[in-house]
Amino acid sequence: MSKTIEIGSAIAEPGKIAEGNIFVEKLAGGSELTMPVTIINGSKPGPCFWINGGIHGDEPEGILTCTLLKEKIKPDDLSGSIVMIPVMNVPAMEAAERGNPLDTFSYDMNRIYPGRKEGYLSERIAHIHKEWMIKYADMEISIHSGGAHSYLAEAMFAAKDDKTQELARAMGEDWKVCLYSNITSKSPMAVMAENGKPALTVELGGRSSTAPGAFLKVGQTLLKACINILTHYKMIEGTPHYPEIRYKGFQQALLAPKSGVFLPNPNVKFLTMMKKNDEILDVTSALVPPLLSALDALQMASRFMHPPNIAAVVELISDKQLAVRDGLHTFQSAVWPENLERFFVAVKESAENALEAFAFFDEAVKQSEPAMTAYRAMGLVTKALESMYPVASMLAPVSRFYLEDSSRNNDLLLKRLEDADTSKSDVGVMHANNSDRERGGFSMYVPEYYQGEETPSVSYTHLTLPTNREV
C-alpha cells in the first residue's frame, strides 16, 4: 500500500488525485505567490516521477503536458506517484516573459538552483521548490521549449551516468538526440544529480501562441514520452518503446557570418551521423564552446569589477567553470597528432588560465578585503585570452569572438583575417618589456593582414591585453 503524499496544500491519499498550491511569499499588495501542484498517488507502492513545467514564463508546453497526463493516468492503474508542477515561475508565466518581472534582476530561474531561502524572489521560489522535490522525487524531468523566439525539435540534456542515461532512453522512440550535460547550469536537474537521482531537461516546441495546432502536437509527443517513462519503470502496464538510433554529443552554437535568411541544404539530412573515429572533433567540441562562453563571462566580470559587487558578479559566472574543467579533461584525453600541437597547447593553456581565474574569483568572495585577489583573477583572464588568441587563425568562431560586435559580420574583414599570414613577426599580439616581473612596458595588437601600406588601428594597454581587438 502506498502512503499519503502531502505537498503544500495538496494532500493525496493512496489511489487519489489531489491539487493544491505550494506557498512561496506574500506580496506587497497582500496577494499570495504560490506554485500549483498536482499529485497522482497510485494505489500501489512505487517510485515518484516528478515533472516540472513553466520555469520560463514563455514556455507553456509543460502546462499542456501535465494537463494531458492528469486526464490520461488513473490512480488505480499506477504503482507509485506522479507529482506535477505545471507552472513553477508563475509571475513570469502571467507576464508571458522568460524571467520573473518582479525581480530586481532578470534572473533565469533555470540557472539559480538550489536558490536561497532569503534571496531574491526567483531564488526563494527555486529554494522552496527544491526542498519539496528532493523530499519526494525519485526521477525528474523539466519541460522546456524555444519559448517566444524559436521552435525546437526533440532533444534532451542529460548527465553521462547510467541512471540518467536510462531515464533518457526511457523518453521513447521520438527522442533520439541526447546532449551531454556537465550539470553546471544550477538547474533542478543539477540538484537532483547532486542527490544521486536521475533527471533530464527536455526541449521541444516553442512559438505556441502562433501555432496552436503544433502546440497540441508537442503536448501529445511529451505525453507519449511520460507514458513511456511510466511504462519503462513499471509504474503502469504496457510495453515501452525505445529509439533504434541515439545521437549523443554536446551542444554547440553556430554563429552566422552575416545577417540574412538561413536556407538549409536539402542534401544534408538532419541528424546525419558523423564519421567514425572523429575523436579530435568530438574533444574540441567538448571544450572550445564552453571555454569561449567562460571567457566571455570572465570578461564581463572584469568590466563590472567593483569591490561591493564582487560576490554578485562571481555568483553570475560561477556556473561556467565546471563545463570548462570537464571539457579540458576530455580534451586532454585524446591522442593529438603532431600537426595540431600548436592548437592543442593554445586551447589547453587558455582553459587552465581561465580555471585559475575562476579559482581566484571564488577565493576573493571568501575574503573581507577581496579586491586584490579579484585583481589577480583579472590578470589571469587576460592570460587566458592571450593564450587562446592563436586559435583565431584556425577557427572562424574564435576569430569572430575576438572582434568587436560591430565587426563580427564584416565579410571583408573576416576574409582578410582568414587569408592573412600569421607567421610574420611584426603582426598580431606583441609585447615590449611587459612580462609578469616588469613594469612600464606595453602590449599592442597589429592586424595580421597589415602590409605596411596603411596605418592600422591598434588597441594597446600598459598592463593587460585588450578585451577585444580593433581592426
Q: Pick the range with the lowest mean pLDDT from 13-22, 160-169, 207-216, 302-311.
A: 302-311
pLDDT tens digits along 86-126:
999 999 999 999 999 988 776 899 999 999 999 999 999 99
Q: Pick the range with the lowest mean pLDDT from 9-13, 14-18, 275-279, 381-385.
A: 275-279
CA 185 to chain centre: 5
Of residues 307 and 114, the one with the higher pLDDT is: 114
Inform me whether the pLDDT recorded for 175 exceeds 70.
yes
Question: For residue 189, which of 199, 181, 202, 179 has the smallest C-alpha distance?
Answer: 199
pLDDT tens digits along 189-220:
999 999 999 999 999 999 887 778 889 999 99
% pLDDT > 70, the chain: 90
Averaged over 239-251, what is the pLDDT? 85
- Report the run of H or E that residue 442 belongs to, with start and end: strand 442-446
Cell, residue 467: 578585451
Helices marked H in 14-72 — which ranges? 61-72
Of residues 413 and 174, the one with the higher pLDDT is: 174
pLDDT band with cut points at 50, 70 and 90 for residue 470: very low
pLDDT the model gives residue 466: 41
Structural domains of the chain in order of their starting residue, each with its CATH number = 5-249 (3.40.630.10), 284-461 (no CATH)
Asked whether 222 and 143 are in contact (CB, 8 A), the reply is: yes
pLDDT band with cut points at 50, 70 and 90 for residue 278: low
pLDDT band with cut points at 50, 70 and 90 for residue 365: confident
Q: Pick the range with the lowest mean pLDDT from 152-166, 226-240, 410-424.
A: 410-424
Handedness of CA 66, 70, 72, 78 (dihedral sign): positive
Helices marked H in 102-241 — which ranges? 121-136, 162-170, 188-194, 212-232
CA 443 to chain centre: 35
